[in-house]
Amino acid sequence: MSSIIGQPISRVDGVLKVTGGARYSSDIPLANLAHAVVLHSTIAKGRITQINTTAAEQAPGVLGIVTHLNAPKLHSISFAQPGQPPSAVGRSLPILQDLVIHFSGQQIGVVIAETLEQAEYAATLVQVTYAEESPITNLHTVLEQAFYPDKTDALGQPLETKRGDLETGWAAADVQIDQSYTTSTNNHNPLAPFASIAVWEGEKLTVYDASQWVQNVRLVLAATLGIAISNVRVVSQFVGGAFGCGLRAWPHVTLAAIAARHVHRAVKLVLTRQQMYTFVGYRPQTVQHLRLGATRDGKLTAIVHDNLSPTSPFDEFVESTTNNSRVLYACPNVATTHRLVRVNAGTPTYMRAPGESVGTFALESAMDELAYALELDPIELRLRNYAETNPETGLPWSSKSLRQCYQIGAERFGWSNRDQKPHSMRRGNTLIGLGVASAMYPVYRLPASAMARIAVDGSVLVQSSVTDISPGTYTVMTQVAAETLGLPISQVRFELGDTDMPEAPLQGGSMAMASVGSAVQAAALALRGKILGLAIADEHSPLQGVNKEDVIAMEGRLCLQHDHSIGETYSEILMRNQMTQLEAQSSSMPGEERQQYSMYSFGAQFAQVHIDIDLGMMRVARFLGVYGAGRIINAKTARSQMIGGIIGGVGQALEEETVMDETNGRIINANFGEYHVPVQADIGKLEHIFVDEHDPHVNPLGVKGIGELGLVGVAAAIANAVYHATGKRVRNLPITLDKVL
């Protein structure tokens, strides 16, 4: 039996996507659709003194304008609210409820018109006056106001930790590295700007949304609007990219619902590219202080990692950067802290490998500095501190292939050809540098449910309310169901992204496959078991009375493992039982294994950079990532995840930087022209390798999740390569050419 799981199957939704048949949230063809344009503040701090909408209301096509003057009462929500999901909800600022402005770009109203152009024009006629105050736009100017946030982040990672005894650690250290590393504000730039369409039918609200978590949007809308959860349906069948910005239900979603109710029409609200920089969160800048102590032979004796990052005046979001500093290396004495500073900006949020990617930049840069201080090969230094068990909890790893990742990577990358001396490898006018860094990301898993239904023709429909922000979720879930039921891919259809479907958690934290994949497998197994039950009980079935365990599913049939000729098709069983269809629903959730094992994926990242001696121009000529990430469901979509992560890391390392004008709190480069992301010409040869890894503990599928791992460590590997090429240690991302010249 050839396995469907693992095959490099092309996306089952690929044709839909390239022919325009995939309907994103802004594409839903509804009759009588009105268009909304959001008004946002032009000051960063102060109060609205007046909003004059008279001229705008009289503009052609205008159906209504909602501001604080006529907005419905909204309810604020918080983490603590019973029934709310534990993470990502945040404490959203209730919009249009008062006159206070907290940041530039804050939503202050919505204009609804017959056409988008009419709404846009009318929005220009709205006159707003403000009493402006001086905003806080630079966290360094208010460091005395820094505070320690809650004890854990939304995913349960601790934000303040201490193990061992630091005094002992420093006393045992022959060498210390004591440095600050900073990373810049980054914005999510999915290809498709976020969009919501809201429709009311009586008390029932349906919202088509670009989301990573429809169940969460549903809860937030119900709580914010003060309506029953059962009256809200959220649909998100296709999302044109999201890297964490779709985890929360941001205020514009609520605005779409308010607008639709105000004009008694279906309303479409699409964010502008500029609004994507202020409406849906961002990866906050970080100021990280890292101190390492080690013995002469390279054993870490102490690690202290302190993080400072901004949050908004009304929410607390922590970029939890220190996770890997706690557990990546076997060091007995470790302390980590996070502090926040409130600035006049919107609330930051999760962005691909939140915390881990920027935190690992600091840790793995510092490890490189330590390797040079000790005159040790950077890989050798890492091997000398290899953690055989989780150094914080003492738990065994469910599996760990990091040693193989270093070894295979070093061999494939030609690491032994590297001359450790900085500024030593050169070809003509080009300096060449090779750098390495480790990667590590937790294996999360949450409860999930799925439904599987077989029709008499043997075709199967599987549903779960997870979303597909584009990693290939439609495809991999189809593979799991098809393999479990012994059906070809073409016989299985997977549907997702609708709160009417069985409950599923977020597509985020690299946990969709582990959580929902396990539920899809469970539902397919339950369906198979039901059908088999019919056959075993049926005197007319060749499978009557057989042992369940002796039966396998293949080629659309259930048959005996030791004699494939004894069996029958699903259709035959259903027909004989006069059934047109049969359905099973199942849930899957983590159990005690999570208390018995420490679960992480690992990797080794290798970068080769080329730097023009005269101009300082940098290019990542070659990059290799080697990963231990458990079972890989689809080699093709997995490759896209890994190289996508690396490309994101090239952006983080060399290009991406959101710049705020500190005088007025506005983002200067809220566009694709001036916020640089890597383009094809920026990317050299990318390679990835998955180490063969079987993990029986993580979940029934043995998958670890790969959405974020590929990004972790990339910026550090590049920064380390830049140092190797130039002898200049750049500790501030992005590494632009002015910093290396």
**Which residues belong to the active site?**
708
64 binds ligand MOS per the rule CB under 6 A: no
- Which position among 130, 243, 441, 723 is part of the footprint of ligand MOS (CB under 6 A)? 243
Would you say 452 or 477 has its CB closer to ligand MOS? Answer: 477
CB 739 within 8 A of CB 732: yes
188 binds ligand MOS per the rule CB under 6 A: no
Q: How far is the CB of 60 from ligand MOS (least distance, A)?
A: 41
Would you say 292 or 443 has its CB closer to ligand MOS? Answer: 443
| Rounded Cα–Cα distance for residues 642 and 99 (Å) | 45
In sequence order, what are the residues at sequence separation of 6 or more whose Cβ sits closer than 8 angstroms to the Cβ of residue 275?
38, 40, 105, 193, 252
Q: How far is the CB of 242 from ligand MOS (least distance, A)?
A: 6
Longest dimension (CA), the chain: 84
Query: Any bridge partners for residue 451, and if so which?
Result: 463, 585
Residue 352 CB-density burial (10 A; 0-12 exposed, 13-18 middle, 19+ buried): buried
Would you say 350 or 397 has its CB closer to ligand MOS? Answer: 350
Pairing of strands 266-270, 195-201: antiparallel
| Rounded Cα–Cα distance for residues 627 and 427 (Å) | 30
- Of 569, 553, 458, 521, nearest to 1 by C-alpha is 553
- Which position among 193, 509, 625, 665 is part of the footprint of ligand MOS (CB under 6 A)? 509
Q: How far is the CB of 583 from ligand MOS (least distance, A)?
A: 31
Joined tokens for residue 434:
């090779």
Residue 387 CB-density burial (10 A; 0-12 exposed, 13-18 middle, 19+ buried): middle
End-to-end CA distance of the chain: 59
What single string gives the DSSP state of each residue in 263-322?
A: HTSEEEEE--TTGGGTSS--BPPEEEEEEEEE-TTS-EEEEEEEEEEEE-SS------TT
Q: How far is the CB of 636 from ligand MOS (least distance, A)?
A: 21
- Which position among 207, 351, 366, 440 is part of the footprint of ligand MOS (CB under 6 A)? 351
Site string for ligand MOS, 440-479 (x = CB under 6 A): ----------------------------------------
Q: How far is the CB of 684 from ligand MOS (least distance, A)?
A: 26
Would you say 130 or 361 has its CB closer to ligand MOS? Answer: 361
| The one segment of 239-247, 403-411, 425-433, 515-523 that binds ligand MOS by CB under 6 A | 239-247
- Which position among 329, 350, 413, 415 is part of the footprint of ligand MOS (CB under 6 A)? 350
- Which position among 11, 218, 339, 352 is part of the footprint of ligand MOS (CB under 6 A)? 352
Segment 124 to 183, residues that bind ligand MOS, using CB under 6 A: none
| Rounded Cα–Cα distance for residues 703 and 689 (Å) | 16
Give the side-chain half-sphere CA count within 13 A for 347: 20
DSSP state of 180: E
Would you say 282 or 350 has its CB closer to ligand MOS? Answer: 350
194 binds ligand MOS per the rule CB under 6 A: no
Would you say 515 or 608 has its CB closer to ligand MOS? Answer: 515
Joined tokens for residue 196:
């919501």
238 binds ligand MOS per the rule CB under 6 A: no
Task: Give residue 630's Cα distance to chain centre.
Answer: 19
Preceding peptide of 734 cis, ω within 30°: yes
Would you say 26 or 212 has its CB closer to ligand MOS? Answer: 212
Q: How far is the CB of 75 from ligand MOS (least distance, A)?
A: 26
Q: How far is the CB of 441 from ligand MOS (least distance, A)?
A: 10
Would you say 244 or 313 has its CB closer to ligand MOS? Answer: 244
Q: How far is the CB of 188 from ligand MOS (least distance, A)?
A: 9
Q: Provide the 3-class DSSP secondary structure of residue 533.
A: helix
- Which position among 241, 244, 284, 517 is part of the footprint of ligand MOS (CB under 6 A)? 244
Would you say 154 or 259 has its CB closer to ligand MOS? Answer: 154
| The one segment of 100-108, 116-124, 350-358, 653-661 that binds ligand MOS by CB under 6 A | 350-358
Burial 246-272 (b: 16+ CB within 10 A, else e): bbbbbbbbbbbbbbbbbbebbbbbbbe
Q: How far is the CB of 677 from ligand MOS (least distance, A)?
A: 16
- Binding residues (CB under 6 A) for ligand MOS: these are 212, 243-244, 247, 350-352, 354, 508-509
